[in-house]
Amino acid sequence: MLTLFEKDHYRDVTEIVNVHFLVADEEPLLATPLTSPPSSPTRRVAVVGCGGIARGRHLPALADQGARTSVVALVDLDAAAVERTADEWNVPGRYTDVDAMLAAESPDLVIVCTPPAAHRDTVIAGLEAGAWVWCEKPPVLSLAEYDRIGAHEGERGPYASYVFQHRFGSGATHLRSLLDRRALGRPLVGVCHTLWYRDEAYFEVPWRARWETEGGGPSMGHGIHQMDLMFSLLGDWSEVTAVMSTTARATETEDVSMAIVRLESGATVSVVNSLLSPRETSYLRFDFEHATVELEHLYGHANANWRWTPAEHTDRTFDAAHWPPRADEPSSHGAQLKELLDAMDRGERPAASGRDGRRALELVAGMYRSALTGATVRRSELTEDDPFHHAMYGPDPAAATAVLSHQEETAHV
């Protein structure tokens, strides 16, 4: 199903070489008013890409920061899109070239809202110009690209971080604090399901569901949000066994993936990513020693989306002592942006960057390797000499597509 933003911005796209910096894959989320610290400096911000995700999420989130941010420039290959968006948001700098914008504007923060294939070079250009960078998901097309970006960061910044807004908001933050205090006991069992629906028209956008331009299917571009949230709560993974298939859509990549993931804590999690599910939901469930915690939402969550079930052995005060949190801040681009700006003020690496931002992408690589080779994959095996470190499809994209679409008798690349 095309969103309103997608219908607006992709109707004129006819071939991959002409795809503009336009990205929109989620429904609009209401902005949450945020207050800035009195001492916080005004950050000069440039937004690269003038599509739905920039107009519907990032520019409103920046506006909510008040004097804490000033959008000084927009960049898009489509000059008309730049003019329309700049007029709408009163942005003075208008460019069709990233390097020209960086040289002229010297922004403090660059927000990257382009299709995935353009992420690596745009992020590196921003870092090399001395700007911090906040990039839309998926971060890049491979672990090798992710690590290459990291080599351009400084010891004290600038840093590149990635849009994983679902790990933010009061519910996730409160649960994370409880887990840090071990208030719920050990994690034992988990569910991490992204069951969404995209019809055939969705994939008519030329860069979608292609190895060379999106990097993968729902494992890469959709479920990665919930997997990142899971890791931010439960910690690192150790091994994965996965299956994938192209079941109902004409794509190079999968439209369904399923995996059993073992975490370093000893917990076991089932992971499902689908673009074929008419009743859409994002569902996470974590069974701890002392409670079950569930989250069901679609594209963003507030406290009301969480459900808490204490174990029978807990006393009556257990639930009231732990849930709900006092604040009710929805997960959103604005919530993550506020924390990113706080990190800039402190000169510290932000959340969802470096090793912390790599874990979900690393699991995706492990899932593809497992599904395409038919073997369980240990996290330690995804080294630089592994083909799946360099591309989600491994050594041969055509062979990977054939396996996923069941055109080969064997399940091995």
Neighbours of 281 (CB within 10 A): 12
CA within 13 Å, CB half, 30: 6
Residue 4 has a pLDDT of: 32
- Distance of alpha carbon 286 from alpha carbon 162, whole angstroms: 24
Residue 19 has a pLDDT of: 39
- Distance of alpha carbon 138 from alpha carbon 263, whole angstroms: 22
Residue 30 has a pLDDT of: 35
Mean pLDDT, the chain, whole residue set: 90
Task: Write out residues in the chain with pLDDT < 50, as ranges.
Answer: 1-37, 407-413
Q: CA nearest 185: which of 313, 304, 61, 272?
A: 313
pTM check: above 0.85: yes
Task: Retrieve residue 213's tokens.
Answer: 């331009």
Residue 213 has a pLDDT of: 97
Within the chain, which residue ranges are assigned CATH 3.30.360.10? 167-333+361-397
Give the single-character DSSP code of 67: G
Domain at 4-163: CATH architecture: 3-Layer(aba) Sandwich (3.40)
Give the single-character DSSP code of 177: H
Residue 320 has a pLDDT of: 72
- Measured N-to-C along each axis, helices 143-150 and 119-128 cross at an angle, to the nearest 10 degrees, of 10
- Distance of alpha carbon 271 from alpha carbon 284, whole angstroms: 9
Residue 317 has a pLDDT of: 75
* Cis peptide bond prior to 158, omega within 30° of 0: yes
Strand 43-48 with 69-75, pairing: parallel
- Measured N-to-C along each axis, helices 354-373 and 397-404 cross at an angle, to the nearest 10 degrees, of 70
Strand 268-274 with 187-197, pairing: parallel
CATH number of this structure's domain 167-333+361-397, picked from the four choices 3.90.550.10, 3.90.420.10, 3.40.50.1100, 3.30.360.10: 3.30.360.10
- Distance of alpha carbon 105 from alpha carbon 347, whole angstroms: 21
Within the chain, which residue ranges are assigned CATH 3.40.50.720? 4-163
Neighbours of 315 (CB within 10 A): 8
Give the single-character DSSP code of 166: G
R_g of the chain computed on alpha carbons: 21
